[in-house]
């Protein structure tokens, strides 16, 4: 099993896996266009023979913060270490960019605790809130845990000016 940066020919497999896990809200849906555009964020894990097992993405907000997103392993490949392999590869990537804090939002905090992630108050991650939560229908009924690894950011690059005018004020 090996983890490597995704390339455009991986986009269909990535899209299919994410779509299969987004009907019930396990993952945020990602359109093919969004995956193509952000393909350089993605890492895939595959067998020695090149069979696709899963994917994950690292989104860079800036020198202060990165986010692990879209972590998924195909059902028949779970519990064999692929998920852990992905997280370690994405954390190494964050480290290669010298990003001191990696965050994620999840319903399964237990899986991420063993990699050093701790639950945090979501208001400590304003960039994430303005990127995704502000446009999310579950803004005020979110069932995900905010988690972070490393020093929480003291700064943010996104802000209220980017929130669409018709949205309700943030109450997080
Ligand atoms: C979470 C996920 C990526 C783990 O992938 P994986 O390849 O099975 O992970 P690993 O084999 O490296 O580790 C498995 C271990 O992680 C932990 N784990 C796995 N799923 C878990 C969950 N839902 N809750 C808590 N711990 C979990 C268990 O300790 C498990 O050990 P076990 O195999 O002895 O049961 C995979 O289950 C998945 O794709 N789930 C659906 C998508 C999802 O929920 N993604 C996270 C969104 S934030």
So where are the chain's domains?
2-162
Count Cβ neighbours within 10 Å for each residue of 70-96 and write b for 16 or more, e otherwise. bbbbbeebeeeebbebbbebbbebbee
Which residues, judged by CB distance below 6 Å to any ligand atom, belong to the binding site of ligand 1?
21, 26-27, 71-73, 78-84, 106, 108, 110-111
The residue whose C-alpha atom lies closest to atom 48 belonging to ligand 1 is 106
Q: How would you classify residue 26: left for phi > 0, otherwise alpha for psi between -120 and 50, otherwise beta?
A: alpha
20: left (phi over 0), alpha (psi -120 to 50) or beta: alpha
Give DSSP secondary structure letters for 109-125: HHHHHTTT-EE--GGG-
Q: Collect all residues with Cβ–Cβ distance below 8 Å to 33 and sequence separation of at least 6.
A: none
Compute the residue count for the chain.
172
Distance 162 CA to ligand 1 centre (A): 34
| Rg from Cα positions in the chain | 16
pTM, rounded to two decimals: 0.92
Q: Which atom of ligand 1 is nearest to the CA of 70?
A: 47
* Å from CA of 24 to ligand 1 middle: 17
| Pick from 52, 87, 44: nearest CA to 66 | 87
Q: Which of 3.40.630.30, 1.10.580.10, 3.30.420.40, 3.60.20.10 would CATH assign to domain 2-162?
A: 3.40.630.30
Using most ligand atoms within 8 A of CB, pick from 79, 113, 145, 146 the residue to mutate for ligand 1. 79
Going residue by residue through the chain, which has 172 residues, state the pLDDT in tens, using 9 for 90 and above: 999 999 999 999 999 999 999 998 899 899 999 999 999 999 999 999 999 999 999 999 999 999 999 999 999 999 999 999 999 999 999 999 999 999 999 999 999 999 999 999 999 999 999 888 888 777 878 889 999 999 999 989 987 644 444 444 555 5
Tell the residue nearest (CA) to atom 14 of ligand 1.
79
Atom of ligand 1 nearest to the CA of 105: 48
């Amino acid at each position: 099993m090996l983890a490597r940066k995704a390339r455009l020919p991986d986009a269909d497999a990535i899209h299919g896996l994410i779509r299969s896990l987004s009907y019930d809200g396990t993952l945020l849906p990602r359109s093919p266009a969004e995956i193509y555009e952000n393909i350089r964020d993605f890492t895939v894990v595959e067998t020695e023979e090149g069979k696709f097992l899963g994917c994950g993405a690292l989104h860079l907000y800036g020198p202060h913060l990165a986010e692990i997103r879209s972590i998924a392993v195909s059902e028949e490949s779970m519990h064999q270490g692929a998920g852990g392999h992905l997280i370690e590869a994405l954390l190494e990537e964050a480290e290669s960019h010298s990003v001191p804090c990696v965050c994620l939002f999840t319903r399964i905090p237990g899986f991420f605790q063993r990699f050093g992630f701790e639950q945090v108050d979501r208001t400590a991650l304003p960039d994430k809130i303005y990127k995704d939560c502000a446009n999310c229908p579950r803004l005020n009924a979110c069932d995900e845990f905010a988690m972070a690894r490393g020093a929480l950011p003291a700064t943010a690059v996104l802000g209220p000016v980017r929130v669409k005018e018709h949205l309700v004020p943030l109450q997080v």
